[in-house]
Amino acid sequence: MNPVETSALLYVDGVSVSFDGFRALNGLSLFIEPGEMRAIIGPNGAGKTTMMDVVTGKTKPDAGTVLFGGQHDLTRLDEAAIAELGIGRKFQRPTVFEMHTVWDNLVLAVKQRRGVFTTLMARMSGAERDRLDEILAVTRLTELRHLSAGALSHGQKQWLEIGMLLAQEPALLLVDEPVAGMTDAETEQTAELLRDINRTRSVVVVEHDMHFVRALGVRVTVLHEGSVLAEGSLDAVSANERVVEVYLGR
């Protein structure tokens, strides 16, 4: 593979993915600069989640280039290696470890070496404890720390997953539909939380909720049938005829 000159933290170029002949991604190109937050919108089945699957190593693309930090070829790495490079992900359907307590979920996520012997010998350090306490406070889960994650409400699970992302301290966060199932107030708080996270990290957010996307106030990419339909400010893409036709106008 030829090295690509790019300043982008996440460089996705000409990526195609087919499932049994169906093209879920079709020459998708997307560039996320360091420190950027990007919102991705698009109709159901546009390929938003598939794009995240490709970046995190769950799905191997048929064609195209996916680079992290300009040098790591993500198409050649597995999920664990990509996570260790510093890419964290929140799933569309909240997936927390239901049998574990809220606290243990965060302990699992906390940034540390992931080797067998490291975790066998691991002891909670004071700094780690403080960090997790802080995350509990930020995600409003302090009171629920001893509750098993399976007992949380949908919205609380979403927050726990965001908390786990924070504990991982990734350089890039991929956040798939974070406010599904949240009240308006919670949606607002989540937007604020993500803006805050974005001060130190790059973020890619997929979301259908237009109020939320507006609250984020960042550059928007519209996906349709596996490729980029439009890109720009929310106002600009909202004015785009094609976007209105395939997505917003429905």
* Interacting residue ranges for another protein, rule: CB under 8 A: 56, 58, 78-80, 83-84, 89, 91, 95, 97-100, 104, 107-109, 114-116, 119-124, 138, 140, 143-144, 146-147, 151-153, 156, 164, 168, 183, 185-186, 188-189, 192-193, 196
* Residues in CB range of 149: below 8 A, 6 or more apart: 96, 97, 98, 99, 100, 101, 102, 105, 157, 160
* Residue number, 25 or 141, with CB nearest to ligand ATP: 25
In the set 14, 34, 45, 232, which binds ligand ATP (CB under 6 A)?
45
In the set 24, 38, 49, 152, which binds Mg ion (CB under 5 A)?
49
* Residue number, 90 or 219, with CB nearest to Mg ion: 90
Residue 141 Ramachandran class (φ > 0 left, ψ -120 to 50 alpha, else beta)? alpha
217 binds ligand ATP (CB under 6 A): no
Site string for Mg ion, 185-224 (x = CB under 5 A): ----------------------------------------
* Residue number, 31 or 91, with CB nearest to ligand ATP: 91
**Three-class DSSP labels, the chain:** CCCCCCCCCEEEEEEEEEECCEEEEEEEEEEECCCCEEEEECCCCCCHHHHHHHHCCCCCCCEEEEEECCCEEHHHCCHHHHHHHCEEEECCCCCCCCCCEHHHHHHHHCCCCCCHHHHHHCCCCHHHHHHHHHHHHHCCCHHHCCCEHHHCCHHHHHHHHHHHHHHHCCCEEEEECCCCCCCHHHHHHHHHHHHHHCCCCEEEEECCCHHHHHHHCCEEEEEECCEEEEEECHHHHHCCHHHHHHHHCC
* Residue number, 60 or 114, with CB nearest to ligand ATP: 60
In the set 16, 18, 92, 112, which binds Mg ion (CB under 5 A)?
92
* Residue number, 22 or 117, with CB nearest to ligand ATP: 22
* Residue number, 129 or 211, with CB nearest to ligand ATP: 211
158 binds ligand ATP (CB under 6 A): no
Q: How far is the CB of 22 from another protein (least distance, A)?
A: 22
Q: How far is the CB of 89 from ligand ATP (least distance, A)?
A: 13
Give the footprint of ligand ATP on this chain (CB under 6 A): 19, 24, 42, 44-50, 92
